[in-house]
Structure 1
Amino acid sequence: MSPTSAQPEDLLFDAARRGDVSTLHELLGRGLNVDTTNDKGFTPLILAAYDDHYDAVVMLLNSGANPNVQDASGNTALMGVSFKGYPDIARLLIERGADLNLQNGNGGTALMFATMFGRNALVRLLLDAGASQTIADRRGLTALHLAGQQGNEEAWALLGGEPPQA
């Protein structure tokens, strides 16, 4: 699709993926919905956050983006940055009202993603912000269970797991 034939929403998603703040500003100034979704349910905020574009995330939040919109799988921007390991964006999303305990379609939370993928700075950040440790996914596993499964000893300790007996 050539740029001249692209739909404005497609241009918005592309600008979010690239972190192009000026194009985002221009497109939103034309009246596009900041929380519009693509066929996978991704919003510009989810895309910008996932691709580590801090300034674009700030701009989108300042334009009214809802940090709690879930994509087609139930994932949020906070879940994406918890998986990828972007604490600065996670902190910003939390400050702007991201729900720490939303669950995706499999029952996973941002804390579970951070734990499973060894993003221990995010585990600490999410716990300090008040993320629940007692939520279980569809398999009945909590973040502590996942830390044990992954051999993530630091997360295990942060989540209050008891050290193995000598």
Structure 2
Amino acid sequence: DKGAEVDRAVEKGDWKGTTPLFAACCNGHVDLARLLLEKGAEVNRATSGWRTKGQTPLYIACLNGHVDAARLLLDKGADVHKASNNNQTPLHTASYRGHIDAVRLLLANGATADIDREDEYGDTPLADAENEDHSDIVALLEEHQK
């Protein structure tokens, strides 16, 4: 309320474009993320740095298995299909990392269309889960393919 810029991003280095909301979701700080969203933070704002490659707060929450943060973002209108610069969706990253609760949440919010979506390396979320031996996620994704 005193003039803080809730969407002010880092403007240098590998983490360029990282906003306070992105950082809060990266670390699972749901209460802080909620406050930032209430104060006008953009739910789908992507990063621009080399390391983060166009990732959104939802992407990073799913990457790190922060399901409560991901749920908050989805409730506030996060785009479940928004991909990073290398065409990886939140479903790719949750599947690759083995975060089954995040995968369930994403599928419940419309990510079934992304099960066969290829990233720039030709990998799908299903292939990512298979390659990392996450058999529970493979079974879940195959069930939702039908």
- TM-score, with length taken from structure 2: 0.87
- 1:59-99 per-residue CA deviation (whole Å, 9 max, x = no partner) reads 00111111100001100111111011111111010000111
Q: Which residue of 2 aligns with 1:30?
A: 2
Asked if the contact 2:54–2:85 (Cα under 8 Å) also holds between the matched residues in 1, the reply is yes
**How far off its partner does 1:124 sit?**
0.7
State how far apart, in whole Å, the 2-side matches of 1:159 and 1:70 are: 26
State how far apart, in whole Å, the 1-side matches of 2:120 and 2:58 are: 20
Q: Which residue of 1 aligns with 2:126?
A: 144
**How far off its partner does 1:100 sit?**
0.5
Q: Which residue of 1 aligns with 2:101?
A: 121
- Paired residue secondary structure (1:135): coil
Q: Which residue of 2 aligns with 1:112?
A: 92
Asked if the contact 2:96–2:129 (Cα under 8 Å) also holds between the matched residues in 1, the reply is yes
Match for 2:42: what amino acid? N
Q: Which has the higher contact order (CA 8 A, sep 6+)?
A: 2
Unaligned runs of 5+ in 2: none
State how far apart, in whole Å, the 2-side matches of 1:114 and 1:69 are: 19
- Paired residue secondary structure (2:21): helix
Match for 2:77: what amino acid? G
Q: Which protein has the larger Cα radius of gyration, Structure 1 or Structure 2?
A: 1
Unaligned runs of 5+ in 1: 1-28, 162-166
State how far apart, in whole Å, the 1-side matches of 2:94 and 2:116 are: 15
Tell me the percent identity.
36
Match for 2:66: what amino acid? Y
State how far apart, in whole Å, the 2-side matches of 1:38 and 1:30 are: 20
- Paired residue secondary structure (2:69): helix
State how far apart, in whole Å, the 2-side matches of 1:134 and 1:99 are: 17
State how far apart, in whole Å, the 1-side matches of 2:3 and 2:21 are: 16
Q: Which residue of 1 aligns with 2:58?
A: 78
- TM-score, with length taken from structure 1: 0.77
Asked if the contact 2:86–2:119 (Cα under 8 Å) also holds between the matched residues in 1, the reply is yes
Superposed CA RMSD: 1.2
